[in-house]
A and B are shown apart, each in its own frame.
Chain A
Amino acid sequence: MKKWMKILVLFAVIGIAAASYVYVFVYNKAHPDYRKLEPNFSLSSESCFEAFKKDASEANQRFIGQMLQLSGTLNQIESTEKQTIFYFIHSEGMFGNEGVRVNMLPDEQLSEIISGQDITIKGYCTGYNQTDVILEHGSVIY
């Protein structure tokens, strides 16, 4: 094989490898495995809710986009067609009960969890909608 052809083939291989890497590991990179993420903050569900209620702007800066580990008494479990939602209720307002809402991971084993139980969970905080603090991708910490 001539030298120029070898160089051409080498560049083509490098180009294909680079494009494949970008496609697989950048463009199609997987969502985080939230169950394995370490919490950035650990606090009671009531402290978390009160922080947002007292100063939403400051709490937004501190907690949004962070993994929170929350402890408290689970007041309500709601199951929809796609997910299970845990509620820690701390107040009442225009939408009825207010508190911390945790949208649990769909494959989380929750059959033994009951309302009224003291529990510790972790989840990804997406903010406060003036009624509830919302955590996504929740999982139970045993």
Chain B
Amino acid sequence: MIVSLAMGIQLQAQKYITKNGKIHFYSDAPTEKIEAFNNQVNSALDITSGDFIFRVLMKSFQFEKALMQEHFNENYVESHKFPNASFVGKVTNVTEIDFQKTGTYQAQIEGDLNLHGITQKISEQGTFEVKDGKIHGKSTFYIAVADYDIKIPQAVITNIAEKIEVNVDILLEPLNK
């Protein structure tokens, strides 16, 4: 799908991309709140087919505390083994969205989220705000760390939430080819 989307992007002008997408995650556990930011998320959307992809480098997540960043990379997501996370899927209601008309539209997104070497089907809601020829996409959803085989040691089990809130914020611009 990535290859076909890539080929499609090179051939058509109906593709929107960004290399500066933002993903923020937040763990709200009883004894600790942890959050991290990544501001260089690659994303592409084909507004004709609805094909939608993300690619994220795990080591690009920035934490307030250096120790948390170390634990995240070395112990939890093992970013030396699994440096990328990705989403490959579709906006399933793409025909209901008028990308030529200014407005905010609900989007239904489904596909495969790969994280820590594990792929899970996800289905989430989001919004697309169409304005000035650009598409501003936003979504908030939750992922369970256990679904991605991320093991939390018993000693810090109360420091990390079982479900992590993920906030996606992307400003897609037309690919000029």
Check A60–B17 contact: CB distance below 8 A.
no
In the assembly, what is the distance between CA of A60 and CA of B57, in Å? 11
In the assembly, what is the distance between CA of A128 and CA of B83, in Å? 8
Question: Is B140 part of the contact surface with A, judged by Cβ < 8 Å?
Answer: no
0/1 interface trace, chain B 65-89, chain A, CB 8 Å (1 if under): 1110100010000011001100000
Check A95–B44 contact: CB distance below 8 A.
yes
Main secondary structure of the interface of B (DSSP, over half): mixed
Check A80–B20 contact: CB distance below 8 A.
yes
Contact of B60 among A29, A60, A95, A134 (CB under 8 A): A134
- Chain B residues positioned under 8 Å from A64 (CB to CB): 59, 79-80, 83
Contact of B40 among A29, A128, A130, A134 (CB under 8 A): A134
Chain A: minimal CB distance from B34 (Å): 12
Question: Is B55 part of the contact surface with A, judged by Cβ < 8 Å?
Answer: yes
Q: How many residues of B contact A (CB 8 A)?
A: 31
Chain A: minimal CB distance from B90 (Å): 17
Chain B: minimal CB distance from A52 (Å): 11
- Chain A residues positioned under 8 Å from B2 (CB to CB): 130
Chain B: minimal CB distance from A26 (Å): 7
- Chain A residues positioned under 8 Å from B176 (CB to CB): 96
- Chain A residues positioned under 8 Å from B9 (CB to CB): 94
Q: B38-72: which residues lie under 8 A (CB-CB) from chain A?
A: 39-40, 42, 44, 55-60, 62, 65-67, 69
Known: A65-B59, A126-B57. A29 touches B19 (CB 8 A): no
Number of interchain pairs (Cβ within 8 Å): 80
The residue among A27, A28, A61, A127 with the most chain B CB atoms within 10 A of its own CB is A127
Q: How many residues of A contact B (CB 8 A)?
A: 29
In the assembly, what is the distance between CA of A28 and CA of B177, in Å? 47
In the assembly, what is the distance between CA of A28 and CA of B65, in Å? 6
In the assembly, what is the distance between CA of A82 and CA of B58, in Å? 20
- Chain B residues positioned under 8 Å from A95 (CB to CB): 17, 19, 42, 44, 175
Query: What 4 pairs across the A-B complex have the smallest Cβ distances?
Result: A94-B6, A126-B59, A127-B83, A127-B57
Q: List 30 A-B contacts (CB under 8 A).
A: A27-B67, A28-B67, A29-B65, A30-B66, A31-B66, A31-B69, A61-B80, A64-B59, A65-B73, A65-B80, A94-B9, A94-B10, A95-B17, A95-B175, A101-B19, A101-B40, A126-B59, A127-B58, A127-B60, A128-B83, A129-B56, A129-B57, A129-B84, A130-B84, A131-B19, A131-B42, A132-B19, A134-B40, A134-B57, A136-B62
Residues of A in contact with B (beta carbons under 8 Å apart): 26-32, 60-61, 64-65, 80, 82-83, 93-96, 101, 103, 126-132, 134, 136
Residues of B in contact with A (beta carbons under 8 Å apart): 2, 5-6, 9-10, 17, 19-20, 39-40, 42, 44, 55-60, 62, 65-67, 69, 73, 79-80, 83-84, 175-177
